[in-house]
Chains A and B, each alone.
Chain A
Amino acid sequence: MTRPERGKSLFRFAAPQLFYPLAGKLAPWFAAVAAIFTIAGLWLGFFVAPTDAQQGEVYRVIFIHVPAAWMSMFVYLIMAFWSAVGLVMNTRLSFLMARALAPTGAMFCILALVTGSLWGKPTWGAYWVWDARLTSQLLLLFLYLGYIALTQAIEDPRRADRAGAIIALVGAVNVPIIYFSVKWWNTLHQGASVSLTKAPSMAATMLAGMFVMALASWAYTIAITLWRVRPLILERERHTDWVGAELNALEGKV
């Protein structure tokens, strides 16, 4: 009784055949959550939160910028996690999850960089400064692009999966090293570095808006990843019977 039956354990969803319909069922729910939270978060951020005493209205970009920057880092960690699981447990689905996550991570990276520079122009007087956070964010984007380029360049899917997993793990080991080296370089080179630290007293509504937007980003990431992994599964498993049946059913519907 105490031992769960093998067929009922959650790990059964590591099989692409079972994960495919599950992803299809879950994705719309997460998309709906993402939409609701985005609307709520933006409403909180743009209409409810008070105007900042020092920065005026410009600060409102943080409701997009900060969650995007967080997500860009989390997604890389999750990618590295799935890569490690794939290499250790030899599960095909893990590699597919890592590959489905990469474009979203790169997108959040670009979003954080663009919104950051839009905020920087009126606040610092420049779209770009070689600040530690900006520079390491840029290097993170390069790591994402390297991962995507490598997995796209290799035609053999098995090799592409594993090579991508290795570069994701090498990158994950290097991310802290890059961050700290850039930070020290920055303090050595620029006497008066621009401080990004927020004002200590942040209005509760500001925090709430950022929190809700962070949840929205999570839900969006999960939804879009599940959506993206489905065609990847179909493509990879196209020689199997269940994919044939699935495709026949799809064509019958159209």
Chain B
Amino acid sequence: MNAAEKAKAPPIKVPRDGPRLTGDALKAKLAKTWGNPPGFVGWLSSVDHKDIGRRYIVTALTFLALGGVLALVMRLQLSKPDNDLVGAARFSELFTMHGTTMMFLFAVPVMQGLQIYLTPLMIGTRNTAFPRLNAFSYWTYLAGGCLLWVAFVLNIGPDIGWFAYPPLSGPQYGVGKRTDIWAQMVTFTEVAALAAAVSLTATILKQRAPGMTLARMPLFVWATLVTSLMIIFSMPSVALASGLLLSDRLVGTHFYNPAERGDALLWQHLFWFFGHPEVYIIFLPATGFVSEIVATFSRRTIVHYPIVVLALVGTGILAFGLWVHHMFATGLPRIGYSFYTAASIAVSVPTGLQIFCWIATLWEGRPRLDVPLLYVIGFIITFVIGGLTGVMIAAVPLDLQLHDTYFIVAHFHYVLIGGAVFPLLGAITYWYPKFTGTMMSDRFGKISFWMIFLGFQLAFFPMHIAGINGMPRRVYTYPAGMGLELPNLLSSIGSMIVAAAVLLFVVNMVKSYSFGRKAEANPWGGSSLEWDTACPPERYNFAHIPVVESRTPLWDAGEKMPVAHGLRVEDREVLLTTVMSAEPDVREPSAEPSIWPFVSAVAVSIMFICSIFSPWAVLIGAVPATVALIAWFWPKSPEPDAEPTIS
């Protein structure tokens, strides 16, 4: 049969799910089809979004712990004036590693990990759009993280701050390989984040369950779509910035060298064109968590769903018009100051609208003060404080006064920890039964929440005072008698409490994994489709693809769940639907497990790492990387199957 005949041929007779193949018989077949190969190679070959999501989350939490330890060392150093626990050079490494780890290796990846895990479950499909690209993304991220931390352990870690301004990071001042390692780590994490973002975008646009129109998507999925698009538009900027920096350092270009008519400010523009959206790439998924948790624990739909969606989209767009507020101190035209001040204040409007919608939902609902909702309340209080200091420093005169002081450190920890980590901890508690099949301890959960919430305020509120009193950030010590002793001591005590609370949270996670109460499928009474799967979900997620008729399918399903049927069960197949109205459109084969994404990531990693030392590594290293990528794509059977598969 030729291609034209094949294209028109009716579907072949193979086992498909439906009234005649359902229940345990169907599940046994699907489990075999969607399972991983055995052994270690099988583990490396997994393309299951749940495996990849879990790996992302565990790895990112490990980096959180490592970054947290660095923070503790810095707080110990700053707990008293003229302390000599850590010297100036080591302190520079500590704050660089802390910021870099938290931004590039924890915050973005942990959000993407949750998105990779949850999105297919929430939209009613069996895997992401490009499962192998997802796997490649994880291994690349892991390699980038290891590069940075192995370098730090070997005492060649970066020491140029997490935003690596030239000329400090340029060839003249940033001697050695510390900066190159930082810049190449950025390349790794950008490749990983972009790959995951493309996969998530295509998944959301094309694989939603029949009937799940855009207007019926869960708000977390909306947040995922907006953040994935933001990654796609913003991360090329930092990839370009770090690529040009590496080029300046390795082959003698002059992009950032004023002596040869380059400009160090070009770095700041390119970096912050990524760096400011980055903040919202971390924050918007957290608002998605909050929307889901608020709805479930208020036991009602979110008030003004369209406003929340428009706020997400509006924030995503406005985020690209703010980057220059990081550069107020570099000197700008007057119109530039006015524009970026206005834009920076304007972005608080959509966020404020979301907060009012959540408060209204709680007000109108019957809130249940379980641990996830406690984190949401902690988030609202803390984030509002951080948001208000953000509006303050959007004003140029105040920003010029407070620039590079601890006031800024306080502000961004309020918005990042308050705005992202609190909801994250709530989300982990909320979806923990979905990840593991057991519930986290409520008692330990509440203790760690109060310790984190109060410890955080103790750690970071005094930094406002230290900043107003003139304490500069990134300086390893301070003299006595300037009014800085008390705020710093309080901050150090607070940070220890936060660390103990996070440890308690982790102990709770580990203990609950083995000894926690077994969870039923929908322990919190949630409304979205992930709660229609087992805890933890089977490899295939859904035995039959659900059909969605409202925004809250589980609350509206009644006695039975409407489903679509007719997908193959002995080959991996997913259902594609139309972008807007989610009408069933195409039966699409889904990739089988493959070792090649791992091999490709290893080849690409070798190329990236060697290119720190020689530009020729790019040329030579591209050969094995290309071979691995071709092997990934190339069909493994000599003849095509009757219906398409991705082997």
Q: Do A and B bind each other?
A: no
Residues of A within 8 A of B (CB): none
